[in-house]
Amino acid sequence: MGKAIFEQINGSFALVLVSNCGVISVENLCDLSCKLKEMKVPVVKLSSRQTLVVVGSSEQLQEVEKIAPGYGFKIGNFGTQVRNVKGCSAGEGLCKRQLDTALNLGIELENEYFGIETPHDFKIAVAGCPRGCTDPLCADFGVITKGKDKFDVYIGGRGATIKPIHATKIYNNISRENVKVALKHVLDIYIEEGNKKERIFRTINRIGIEKFVNKDVEENKKQHVDEDFLAFI
């Protein structure tokens, strides 16, 4: 458990910077880039987890760690904690395939749970449509948008391995607020029941998936009303 700073093969170091589901303002990106150039940082890389990886000397990265929060970044984490949330580009007025604004939900979840200690690292992914560009079925807690304020929730996925596991659906068509309730319940059970360094899919196999389901979370059967259409008729 600790900060995401890793030594590289060539002796340099890599520091992981986290923004809200990969969203960075143009101003912060420009200002940070100018600062890194001034510091003679050689390279920056975008990761598959929507993070910014700064590569340089140990001394350079110590300085980057100090200034990063001023540009809207958190320092990445690794080990037995909730990691940064992978959120797709289904924000207000963005991706045409989105069924609801899942990006905003992902940012809310990241702001609330990032860095909380868990038995093993815990990854969350939120997708704005069933295409699942953020790989929600390979996450410990995956969310797929099905319609306006309707989300399916999956748990127990595992990617980044030669033996990937697809997550299992535990909720169908639940509301945005209930997604938050579901995540809290899953984390509470996992933290209480999970063994040290036990990935959640192994905890599920050991104690059963039923314990991770909050019986008070119900399907959202409310129909979305198109206000523009009502105004037209």
Both 65 and 98 in a single domain?
no
Q: Are residue 177 and residue 132 in the same domain, yes or no? A: yes
For the chain, give the number of residues. 233
Q: Please say which residue of 43, 78, 113 terminates a domain.
A: 78
CB 148 within 8 A of CB 131: no
Clarify whether residues 22 and 118 are in a common domain.
no
Token pair in block for residue 146: 């099905």
Do 181 and 132 share a structural domain?
yes
Question: Looking at residue 1, what is its pLDDT?
Answer: 53
Number of domains in the chain: 2
Q: Are residues 201 and 113 in the same domain?
A: yes
- Whether residue 112 is found in the same domain as residue 194: yes
In the block, which residue shows the tokens 């390279």? 43
Is 220 part of a structural domain of the chain?
Answer: no
In a domain? residue 165: yes
Task: Evaluate whether residue 221 is within a structural domain.
Answer: no
Give the DSSP letter string of 149-164: TEEEEEE--B-SSSS-
Let me know if residue 226 belongs to a domain. Answer: no
The answer as to whether 218 is a domain residue is: no
User: Within the chain, what is the greatest distance between any pair of CA atoms?
Assistant: 68
Dihedral over Cα of 104, 109, 111, 115: its sign = negative
Tell me, yes or no, whether 228 lies in a domain. no
| 93 and 206 co-located in one domain | yes
Report yes or no on 104 lying in a domain.
Answer: yes
6 and 29: one domain?
yes
For residue 25, being part of any structural domain is answered with: yes
Which of 200, 204, 102 is closest to 147 using CA atoms? 102
Residuewise pLDDT in 10s, the chain (233 residues): 578 999 999 999 999 999 999 999 999 999 999 999 999 999 999 999 999 999 999 999 999 999 999 999 999 998 899 999 999 988 888 888 999 999 999 999 999 999 999 999 999 999 999 999 999 999 999 999 999 999 999 999 999 889 899 999 999 999 999 999 999 999 999 999 999 999 999 999 999 999 999 999 988 776 554 444 345 44
CA 140, 195, 205, 207 torsion-angle sign:
negative
Last residue of a domain, one of 44, 78, 112: 78
Ranges assigned E (strand) in the chain: 2-3, 5-7, 13-18, 43-46, 51-56, 74-75, 77-78, 86-87, 124-127, 141-147, 150-155, 168-174
For residue 183, what are the domain limits? 86-212
| DSSP track, 170-183 | EEEEE-HHHHHHHH
